[in-house]
Amino acid sequence: MFGKILIANRGEIAVRLIRACHEMGIMAVAVYSEADEGALHTRLADQAVLIGPPAPSESYLRGDVIIEAALRTGAEAIHPGYGFLSENADFADAVRDAGLVFIGPPASAIRAMGVKTEARALMEAAGVPIVPGFQPDQATDAEYLNAAARIGYPVMIKAAGGGGGKGIRVVHHANELADGIAAARREAQNAFGDSRVFLEKYIEAGRHIEFQVLADQHGNVMHLYERECSIQRRHQKIIEETPSPLLTPDVRAQMGEAAVAAAKAVGYTNAGTVEFIADQQANFYFLEMNTRLQVEHPITEMVTGVDLAKLQIRIAAGEKLPFAQDDLSQRGHAIECRVYAEDVASGFLPATGPILLAAEPEGPGIRVDAGVVTGDSVGVHYDPMIAKLIVLAEDRGEAIKRMDHALGDYAILGVTTNMAFLQDVLRHPAFQAAEISTHFIDEHVANWREPDGDLPDTALIAAAMAQQMQSQPVPSSVGGSEDADIYSPWARLDSFRLGGH
C-alpha cells in the first residue's frame, strides 16, 4: 500500500480523497493555487504545495508542475479526482513515466473513451446499444443534412472530443442545422481544442441513467448499479438518485451487463461510469463513458455500503476487488443534491463572496461532502459548488422527505445558494411521481423565483425591541444600590442569561 498520495484537485473532492487517505493510514499531499491558499483541502492535508496563479491553466491544469510536486514531496501516487486532469491521457502517461502510480484507468482507455465518435464505434462492436447517429471525421453541410433527414428530427449535435454538456445543440428543423453545427464547432474548439462534431438522434423526454463500474488489475469487472441523473440544468446534473424509479429488475440487469461489456471492451481498470440515455419505455442507448470518479458517487456508496474512493486506491495498489458481482445489492434509496453558490432566478449565475456561516444538517442518513466551511470564500476562478448533500432512507418517498428537511436545516450565509430551488424541485408533484426527464427544469420550474423572504411582523417587532433594549443605559439603581456593579449580569437588559445566549 502507498505511504503518501498527492491529490491533484481542489474543493470537496480533494477533501473527500484526503479523508479517505487518512482513514487508510496514508499521508496526503494537497496542491493549491494562489486563490486557494488556506482552503479547506490545504488545511486537512499533511503537506500542501503552491502550484501557480489562480487560473486553472496556470495551476490545476499544469501536469508538469503537479508531477514535480509529487516527486519533491515523496508521493508515490497521484489521484486526479474529477475534472481538471482526471481524463487527460497524456497526464496519465506522464505520471507513469515519472515512476508514479496514476490512480485511474490506463491512458489507452481514457483515449478510447475520450473521443465520443470512436467510443460509439467501440461500443457498437462490443454489442452495447448506441443511439442512431452520424459520426464522420469530415463532412459537408449537405452530408450532415442528408444524415439528419435519415436519422429523423430532432437531432443532437455533439462535440466529438468532449463532454460535460459543452458543444451540444439540439436541432428540430433542417433550416436550423447549419447554424447549430457552426455554433457547436466553435464551442467545442474553445472547450476541447477539437472542433469535430457528430449527430445523434435526440431522445425526447429522455432519462439520463449511468452505471458505476469497477475493474481491478486481475480481470475482475463489475457494476455497482445505477444512478438516475435526469434532473439537470444546461446539461449539468443537480439532483441524482438511486435506484432509478424507471428501471425494472430485468432492464437493470441488461444495463448492468452492457456497462460491464463497455468497460471490458477498452481494457478498463479502476472506477468509471458508463452513461446511457433511456426513453420513457426504458429503451436505453450508450452515451459516453466517464473515465474517473463521478461527482455523484456518494449515492452509490450509500446504497451499496462500498467506499469507492478507498477501492480506487486499493485497485491502483494492485489489490483484487474484495467482492464479486453477486455479493452486491442495493439497500434503501439515496438522493444527492448539489449545493451551489448561484443565483437561480438570474439564470443560475455564480454567486461569489465569503461564507459567513456554513452550518451543516445532521441526523440519521444525512451526509455532507463539503469543500468549504465557515470563514472560507467562493471565488470567481472555479466551479461554485459548495457541497454535496446526500441522504439515505428506506424508500424514495422517505428519501425525498429527508432531503427536503436536510436542505431546510442547512444554513449558508454570505452567498446566494440554490437550496430553495432544490426544495421546490423535490416538492414538485411531477418529481414526487417520478415523472422526470432531462427537460424537467425547463418544463416545470423554468421561471423560478426566490420565495418571498419577508419576515413576520412578530419577528420584526422582537428585533426592534431587542435593539432598543441594548441601546438603553443601565439604570444607576440596579440591584438597589446607587453604586451597583455595572458589570453584573443582573445589570444587563440584552436578554443575557447564565449558561446560554
- Mean of pLDDT values over 125-133: 92
Q: Do residues 248 and 161 share a domain? A: no
Residue 154 domain flag: yes
- Mean of pLDDT values over 25-46: 97
CA distance 378 to 12: 12
Residue 496 domain flag: no
CB 319 within 8 A of CB 311: no
Give the CATH number, domain containing residue 43. 3.40.50.20
Give the pLDDT confidence score for residue 501 in this predicted structure.
Answer: 47
Find the domain containing 64 and state its range: 4-103
**Residues 422-479 pLDDT 10s:** 999 999 999 999 999 999 999 999 989 987 666 667 767 876 776 666 655 555 554 4
**Residues 62-109 pLDDT 10s:** 999 999 999 999 999 999 999 999 999 999 999 999 999 999 999 999
Residue 277 domain flag: yes
* Number of compact structural domains in the chain: 5
Q: Do residues 474 and 343 share a domain? A: no
**Residues 12-31 pLDDT 10s:** 999 999 999 999 999 999 99
Residue 223 has pLDDT above 90, yes or no: yes
Residue, of 113 and 482, whose pLDDT is higher = 113
Q: Do residues 273 and 310 share a domain? A: yes
Residue 498 domain flag: no
Q: Do residues 64 and 208 share a domain? A: no
Alpha-carbon radius of gyration of the chain: 26
Residue 382 has pLDDT above 90, yes or no: yes
β-strand pairing of 169-171 with 155-159: antiparallel
Q: Do residues 478 and 413 share a domain? A: no
Nearest Cα to 357, choosing from 373, 333, 378? Answer: 373
The distance between the two most distant Cα atoms of the chain, rounded to a whole number of Å, is 98
Q: Do residues 118 and 262 share a domain? A: yes
Of 252, 292, 338, 367, which one is the catalytic site residue? 292
Residue 452 domain flag: no
Residue 67 domain flag: yes
Give the pLDDT confidence score for residue 193 in this predicted structure.
Answer: 83
Q: Return mean pLDDT, the chain.
A: 92
Q: Do residues 111 and 234 share a domain? A: yes
- Mean of pLDDT values over 145-171: 86
Phi, psi of 230 (to 5 degrees): -75, -25
Residue 491 has pLDDT above 70, yes or no: no
Give the pLDDT confidence score for residue 499 in this predicted structure.
Answer: 60
Cell numbers found for residue 46: 499533511
Give the CATH number, domain containing residue 183. 3.30.1490.20
Residue 167 has pLDDT above 90, yes or no: no
> Last residue of some domain: 163, 178, 201?
201
CB 6 within 8 A of CB 75: yes
Note the residue count of the chain.
501
Q: Do residues 255 and 280 share a domain? A: yes
Per-residue confidence band for 374, with pLDDT thresholds at 50, 70 and 90: very high
Per-residue confidence band for 493, with pLDDT thresholds at 50, 70 and 90: low
- Mean of pLDDT values over 200-222: 95
Cell numbers found for residue 485: 456593579
Give the CATH number, domain containing residue 319. 3.30.470.20
Give the other-Cβ count within 10 Å of 168's Cβ: 20
> Last residue of some domain: 280, 296, 331?
331
**Residues 196-205 pLDDT 10s:** 899 999 998 8
- Mean of pLDDT values over 142-162: 91
Residue 95 domain flag: yes
Cell numbers 444600590 correspond to: 481
Q: What is the 3-state secondary structure (H, E, C) of 412-461?
A: EECCCCCHHHHHHHHHCHHHHCCCCCCCHHHHHCCCCCCCCCCCCHHHHH
Give the other-Cβ count within 10 Å of 366's Cβ: 19
> Last residue of some domain: 201, 217, 251?
201
Q: Do residues 212 and 288 share a domain? A: yes
Q: Do residues 90 and 114 share a domain? A: no
Q: Do residues 110 and 173 share a domain? A: no
**Residues 306-334 pLDDT 10s:** 999 999 999 999 999 999 999 999 999 99
Residue 437 domain flag: yes
Q: Do residues 213 and 268 share a domain? A: yes
292 assigned to active site: yes
Nearest Cα to 254, choosing from 282, 214, 292, 219? Answer: 282
